[in-house]
Structure 1
Amino acid sequence: MVAAFALVGCTATPPPPLVPSTPGMTVVPKEKQNEIVVGVDDVKGGYNPHTLANQSTVTTALSSLLLPSTFRTDADGSPRLDLDLVVSAEVTNAEPYTVTYTLRRDASWSDSAPIAAEDFVYLWQRMREEPGVVDPAGYRLIDDIASREGGKVVEVVFTRPYPGWRSLFHNLLPAHLLKDAPGGWSTALADSFPATAGPFAVRTLDQPRGEIVLERSDRFWEQPPALDRLVLRRAGQHDTIEALNTGDDQVALLRADSIVTKDIAELAKTTPLSSTVVPRPEVVQLLLRPASPRMQDVRVRTAVMNALDRDELIAIGARSGPSANLRADAQVIPPSKAGYTPTMPAKAGDPAQLLTEAGYTRPDGGQWGRDNTTLELTIAAPADVEPYVAIANQVQRQLSLSGIAARVLTTPANQLFGQDLSDTAASKESIDIAVVPRVDTGDSAAVLASAFGCRPSPEDGGTPIPANLSGFCDQTVQPVIEQALSGEVLLADALRTIEPVLWQQAVALPLFQVADLLVTLPTAGNVTSGAPFAGPLSTARTWRREDR
C-alpha cells in the first residue's frame, strides 16, 4: 500500500509516475525532470531520529530535510546556529543556568501551526522519560522550559551549567500532533511524518515498493531548494550499481562490502563517477550487562570478553568494506571524530581461570556451569538489522567453542530498546549480551554520561540507579562523568581517568564505526559527503541536476 501525505497540496492517493497530482500541474518529460534519484539499501519504517531503534541512513537523511533544528553541524564538526529557525540562542543567566532561544515568527509546520515552545517541551519530556532514546543525558539536566511572546521565545533552565547545550533540540517534532496521538512516542514517525518544516515535503512514502519521493515544499519560508524532487529508491546493491550505470540513479548511498567496493571501482573505468566514504555517528558494540544476574561478576564479564575473537567479529560485521578501516578502540569517541584516541588495553586474564575463580566448572571439557546449572547466556540483537544480527550469531559460535552455552535472541528494535534493555531488574530471562549501536549526537560528554552514567532514583531522590542500556553504574567514576558533562573538567582529561576503568569493568566491547559509500555521477551537482555525522542528504537543498 502506498502511504501518501498531503503536505504540499497533493491528493491522498499517489498517481502513477508523471501523472499530475494537483490541478494545473504540468507533466514533465523524464529527460527534463529536475530531480535526483538516490539509491539506498532500505527505506523501511521507523523515522524517529531520537530513538536507538530507528537509527539508519534514511532516518538521518529524512530528519535533516524535513525537521527543524536549533543548530546544525558545520563542516568542521562544530555546531552552527540554524537561522532558518532561530534568530538567536545564547546563555542569558548563569544562576540558574538559562539558555534563551528566539525563534523566527514565520517558522511553521506544514499544517501552518507555528514552531514554538511546546515543541521544545515535548522533546525534552520525552527524552528524559522514554527508554531507548539517543543520548538523553543533556535533556536530563533541564529543570524547566518557559515560554514567552506566544511561544516564540523559549527559556530553557538547567540544574547546572551545561556547555554542550547546542547539541540539544535537533530535529524538533510537531508536539501539537504527537502529544495526544494514539500510541504516543512509541509510534511517533513509525511510518509517516504527520507534519514537516523543511525545504522538502513528503510526496509519497511507499515502504513496500521501496520508494520515498520528496518535493520542494511551498510552505518553506526560506530559500527553496534547487531541485523540484528528490527520490530515495531501495534496491539490492547490484541493482543500484546497474542503475548508476544506466543513469537511472544519479547518486547512491550504500553500506558497501568488498564486492560492492570492487564493482564501483570497475564501473568507474567506464562511467565518470566519484565515491567517498561517509562515516555514520554509529559504533557497533557489545554490551556485557551487569544488570543480568549471570553477568554481575566482573570476572565472568572479563572471561566472556576475552573468549571472543574481536578481529573476527569486526571482519564479519564490516565485510571488508569501508567500516573495516574504522576500528573503534575507545569507549566513547568514535574513530572518525576529532579527539579520538585508542585506549583499548591488551587482553588480561585467561577465560578458564576467571570462570573457575567465579565458581564455575567445566566437567570433561564440556560446558561451563555452577550448582548443577549450565551457564547459558542470552545474546540479543535488533531483528533484521545488520550487521548486528550477523555479529550476534558469530558471538554465539565463538562462545560455544570456549564451552559457554549461548542463544541468540532477535526481537523488533522498538521492543529491544524500549522494553528488554530498559528493565534493569534481575530476571531469569534477562539479556546478558546486547549487540547494539552507540550513537554520537554531537556532545561526546553526553555520550559518556548516557552510556555509562548513573542517575538519581525518582523514589528517594538520591540512590543511584543505572541510566543506560547495560545497567552499569559505578560511583567511583560518576563524579568525573558529571564534571565532564558540566564542563568542570575537560572531556579529554575525564576520559583519561574513566576509560581504563570502563575497560577493566568489561561492560562494553566496541568493534567498529559504521560507514556508507557515497557514489555520485556528474549529472548530480553540488553533492558532497556533508558535515560530520549529518549525512550527505543534509546538503540536498543545494543539489542540482546538471543534464536537463
Structure 2
Amino acid sequence: MSVLSSYVPVTGTPHRDRGGASTVRGPRPHRSRTTVVCALCTVIATVLTACSTGEPTPLPVDPAAGSSTVPPESKPDGSGPVTPETLAQEITIGIDPLDGGFNPHLIARDSAFVQALADLVLPGAYTDGEPDPDLVESVEFVDPSAPGVAQTVRYQLNPAAQWSDGTPITGADFSYLRDAMVSTPGVIGAAGYEQISAIRTSGGGRTVDVDFRRRVADISGLFDHLLPSHLLRDMTDGFTTGLNEGIPAAGGRYTVDLVDRQRGVVTLVRNDRFWGTEPARTETLVFREVRSVQQGVQMLRSGQVGYLDITPVETTYDAFSLLPDTEVSVRERAAVLELTMSVTSPILSTAALRKEFAALVDRDLVARLATGRSTDLVIPETVLGAGPGVDSSGVGAGETPTENRTEDSGVSGPPDGPGGAGTGETTESGGVPVPPGPTLESAIRNRPLRVAADPSDRTATAAATTIVDLLARKGVDAEVVFAPFTEIAGELLPSGDADAVVGRRRTATDAVSVADRFLCPVAVDPTDVTASTAGRTNDVSSMSRARRLPMIRSGNLSGICSRKLDATLLSVLAGEVPLAEVLPELRGIEDGEVLTVPLLAETRIIVRGPGIVVPDRDIEEWAAHPGEATSLLSTAAGWTAEEEQK
C-alpha cells in the first residue's frame, strides 16, 4: 500500500446568524385603517414627549454575543472613566491563510498567529518570566508534601479569575492541561509536565499545590495557555479537536467571537468578564487572511487593514516598502522546518543509513520549492547552534559515539552496535571499527522509505513531497505519508510505519526545550492522572495494565534514548548542571547520530501602516531581536487606532 493513511482537514461550517436560527416570514396579516391611525398617533405622541424633555429617544441595541457596545463607566482598577482615548472600536490585521485548529500546545498548530491568539485569549501562570498577577496572587516553593516528592509548588489563584462563561478558573484546569500534555503525542514542552506526580487543590480550587517527582528549577513555562477543562473534558478527543474551530471560552482580554474559514476571518471581541486591571483597549480585533501580495498591498492602501504579520513570498518586502508611511521589517521566528529521522525505523536504523539519506537532501532546493521563493530565505546549519563536526550541509561528521540503551527502561528502541541506533562507525567501548552496514538501497527492498507530513501544514507537505521526488531522482524508492501530526507522533513513528517526518520545531535552548528534545520517549499510562481528574478517567482493567504500554513521541520525534543522557538532562532540569556545559554533548549526539536535517528557518514579514499605534514598542528594535515564539500580535490588546489618539 503506497499511502498508510490520508487526512482531509476539517473546513469551517458556514456562518449563520447569531443564535443559529433562520427566520421564515409569511404573508402579512390585513390591518384595518383604524388600527394604522391609532398606531400613528402613538408614535407622534412618543416623539412629542421626547422633544418636550430635550432627550433623544434611545434606539434599540442588539449587542454582539460576548461583548458590550457600551463601555464600562470606569476602569476595573478605578483609576478613571473609560474614554474614546482608552477604547478604540476595531483594528483589522492581515495574517496567513488559516490552516488547522487553534490549540497552541500542539506541534502541528505552532504558528505565529496561533501563539499570539492564545496570548490574547487564554490565561497563564507566568508572563515575560514573572508570575502573572491577573491569574496568580503568588507562586512559591513550599515544603514537599510527602516522602518521594522532590518539590512542591503552590499557586494561589486570583479569586476573581474566571472563564468568559462565568466558570471560575481553578486547579481542575491545571490538572486537565498536565494530563493532556503527558498523554498526547506531538505536543510542545511535555518534559516539564512529565515530572509532575500530583496536583492537589483546596480553598475552593483557588489554592493549587503541584507535586514534582523530579525537580524543575524553571517553572515559568508550565501552565501557560490554560484551557477551559469544564468544556473540553467530556468531549471525545477534546484536547486535540476541541479547538479546531475556535476557543470555546476565554480567560484573557479577548474572546473568540467568530471563525469564518470561507471568508478567512477570525474576530475577537473584548472579554467583558476579564477581571484584570488592564482590559483590552480595542473593542474588536479582526484577523483577515491575506492570500497574495497584491491583495495585501491594496488592503493596506485602502485602510482595510492596518497591520500585517505574514509569511513572505518573492516580492513581499519590496511591494510593501513602496507604500508611504509604512514600516516593514523582516524577522526570524524561533522555529524551523526540519526533517527528523526515526531511530526505530526498519530502514533508517543506523546512523550510517540516516547519514546517507540526509546527504541526498538538497536543502537549498527543498527550501525554495517548499516556500516558492528565493528571497528572505534562511537555511539554518543546525537547530542547537553551530557545534564541532558540523559541515556546510548541516550533517555531522559522525565521530561522536553515543549509547542508546533500552535495558531497565521499558522504552522501545533499537539496541546499540551493528544494525542498531549507534553511529555505525565506532563501538561504545573504544572506537573499534564496525564492519560497514547495509546501504540505503538494500535497506528499502521490502518497502519504500516513508516520509510523513501533516497535510494541514502546506510548507511541510511541499517539503516532504520535494524530498521524495529528490530520492526518486537518485533511484531511491520513497513515498509521502499524509496523516495528522498526533497520529504520526503517536503511531506511525513509534511503530516504524513512518521512517521520517517533516514538521516544525522550536529552536529555543532553555532547559525544558532541550530536555523535551532528547529525553527518552515515555509510555502512556492511562492510570497516571492527577487528583482533580482521576475520578473522570475511564477505568483500565488489570489485563490491559499488564500489557506493554503504548509509546508516544512529543519533542523527541527521533526516538533516541540514552539512560545516561536522561540522567544528565534531569540534572539540567533541576538546575544542578548548567545547560551550557551539556550543549556540546547534545550537539555531538545530534550530529553523530544524524537525527535531523534543518530545512528552513521561519521568516516573518511585519508591516505596520500609519493607522496603528503600538505603545512603548519600536517595530524596528523589536524585529532586530529574533528568538520569540510568538510575535508583536501578542500585544494587540494594548493597540489603538491612530484617530482614537487625537
Query: Taking structure 1 as the reference length, what is the TM-score of the superposition?
Result: 0.83
Q: 2: distance between equivalents of 1:450 and 1:163?
A: 15
Please give the secondary structure, in 1, of the residue aligned with 2:236. coil
| 8 Å contact kept, 1:52–1:134 | yes
Deviations 1:406-441 (A, max 9, x none): 1122234454345434xx134xxx11121111135x
Is 1:369 aligned to residue 442 of structure 2? yes
Q: 2: distance between equivalents of 1:404 and 1:464?
A: 31
Paired residues for 1:24-63 under 5 Å: 25=69, 34-63=89-118
Please give the secondary structure, in 2, of the residue aligned with 1:172. coil
Q: 1: distance between equivalents of 2:137 and 2:192?
A: 22
Q: 2: distance between equivalents of 1:376 and 1:546?
A: 58
Could you list the runs of 5+ residues in structure 2 that have no partner in the other structure?
1-12, 24-59, 71-86, 399-423, 426-434, 526-544
**Which residue in the other structure is 1:257 paired with?**
313
**Which residue in the other structure is 1:425 paired with?**
495
Q: 2: distance between equivalents of 1:252 and 1:456?
A: 40
> What letter matches 1:533 in structure 2?
A
Report the alpha carbon displacement of residue 38 of structure 1 after superposing the two structures with TM. 0.5
**Which residue in the other structure is 1:389 paired with?**
461
Please give the secondary structure, in 2, of the residue aligned with 1:438. strand
**Which residue in the other structure is 2:566 paired with?**
478
Report the alpha carbon displacement of residue 242 of structure 1 after superposing the two structures with TM. 1.3
**Which residue in the other structure is 1:359 paired with?**
438
Q: 2: distance between equivalents of 1:182 and 1:484?
A: 37
| 8 Å contact kept, 1:317–1:388 | yes
Q: 2: distance between equivalents of 1:370 and 1:391?
A: 23
**Which residue in the other structure is 1:337 paired with?**
none
| 8 Å contact kept, 1:198–1:220 | yes
> What letter matches 1:480 in structure 2?
T
Please give the secondary structure, in 2, of the residue aligned with 1:400. helix
Q: 2: distance between equivalents of 1:479 and 1:518?
A: 42
| 8 Å contact kept, 1:14–1:21 | no
Q: Tell me: CA distance 1:230–1:33, structure 2 relative to 1, closer, same or farther (3 Å).
A: same
Please give the secondary structure, in 2, of the residue aligned with 1:482. helix
Q: Tell me: CA distance 1:192–1:534, structure 2 relative to 1, closer, same or farther (3 Å).
A: same
Report the alpha carbon displacement of residue 455 of structure 1 after superposing the two structures with TM. 4.8
**Which residue in the other structure is 1:329 paired with?**
381
Is 1:402 aligned to residue 474 of structure 2? yes
Deviations 1:108-134 (A, max 9, x none): 001111111000000001111111211
Report the alpha carbon displacement of residue 82 of structure 1 after superposing the two structures with TM. 1.3
Paired residues for 1:34-433 under 5 Å: 34-73=89-128, 79-93=129-143, 96-222=150-276, 223-238=278-293, 239-267=295-323, 271-317=324-370, 319-320=372-373, 324-325=377-378, 327-332=379-384, 340-341=385-386, 345-346=390-391, 348=397, 357-360=436-439, 368-369=441-442, 373=445, 376-421=448-493, 424-426=494-496, 430-433=497-500
Relative to structure 2, which stretch is displaced further, 133-142 or 524-533?
524-533
> What letter matches 1:439 in structure 2?
R
Report the alpha carbon displacement of residue 236 of structure 1 after superposing the two structures with TM. 1.0
Relative to structure 2, which stretch is displaced further, 506-515 or 120-129?
506-515
Relative to structure 2, which stretch is displaced further, 475-484 or 453-462?
453-462
Please give the secondary structure, in 2, of the residue aligned with 1:293. coil
Q: In structure 1, which of residues 516, 530, 533 is the aligned counterpart of residue 629 of structure 2?
A: 533
Relative to structure 2, which stretch is displaced further, 90-99 or 47-56?
90-99
Deviations 1:235-271 (A, max 9, x none): 312212210111111011110123212212233xxx2
Report the alpha carbon displacement of residue 55 of structure 1 after superposing the two structures with TM. 2.0
Q: 2: distance between equivalents of 1:3 and 1:97?
A: 49
Q: 2: distance between equivalents of 1:159 and 1:138?
A: 11
Q: 2: distance between equivalents of 1:306 and 1:510?
A: 12
Please give the secondary structure, in 2, of the residue aligned with 1:294. coil
Please give the secondary structure, in 1, of the residue aligned with 2:643. coil
> What letter matches 2:580 in structure 1?
A
Q: 2: distance between equivalents of 1:309 and 1:121?
A: 45
Deviations 1:182-212 (A, max 9, x none): 3332322111222111111222221122111
Please give the secondary structure, in 2, of the residue aligned with 1:450. helix
Q: Which has the larger radius of gyration?
A: 2
**Which residue in the other structure is 2:578 paired with?**
490
Report the alpha carbon displacement of residue 295 of structure 1 after superposing the two structures with TM. 0.9
Please give the secondary structure, in 1, of the residue aligned with 2:586. helix
Q: Tell me: CA distance 1:57–1:321, structure 2 relative to 1, closer, same or farther (3 Å).
A: farther
| 8 Å contact kept, 1:466–1:473 | no
Deviations 1:282-331 (A, max 9, x none): 22111111121111122111111122223333344455577624x43334
> What letter matches 1:509 in structure 2?
V
**Which residue in the other structure is 2:607 paired with?**
519
Report the alpha carbon displacement of residue 59 of structure 1 after superposing the two structures with TM. 1.4
> What letter matches 1:255 in structure 2?
T
Q: 1: distance between equivalents of 2:143 and 2:492?
A: 40
Q: In structure 1, which of residues 432, 441, 445 is the aligned counterpart of residue 511 of structure 2?
A: 445
Relative to structure 2, which stretch is displaced further, 537-546 or 401-410?
401-410
Q: Tell me: CA distance 1:182–1:263, structure 2 relative to 1, closer, same or farther (3 Å).
A: same
Q: 2: distance between equivalents of 1:97 and 1:413?
A: 33
Deviations 1:32-73 (A, max 9, x none): 972110011123441111111222233112211110001123
Q: In structure 1, which of residues 509, 517, 520 is the aligned counterpart of residue 597 of structure 2?
A: 509
Q: Tell me: CA distance 1:460–1:158, structure 2 relative to 1, closer, same or farther (3 Å).
A: farther
Q: Tell me: CA distance 1:456–1:64, structure 2 relative to 1, closer, same or farther (3 Å).
A: closer
| 8 Å contact kept, 2:250–2:271 | no
Q: Tell me: CA distance 1:342–1:250, structure 2 relative to 1, closer, same or farther (3 Å).
A: farther
> What letter matches 1:148 in structure 2?
S
CA RMSD of aligned residues (A): 3.3
> What letter matches 2:308 in structure 1?
A
Please give the secondary structure, in 2, of the residue aligned with 1:157. strand
Report the alpha carbon displacement of residue 164 of structure 1 after superposing the two structures with TM. 2.2
Is 1:22 aligned to residue 60 of structure 2? no
Task: Please state which structure has a larger fraction of its residues in strand.
Answer: 1
| 8 Å contact kept, 1:454–1:465 | no
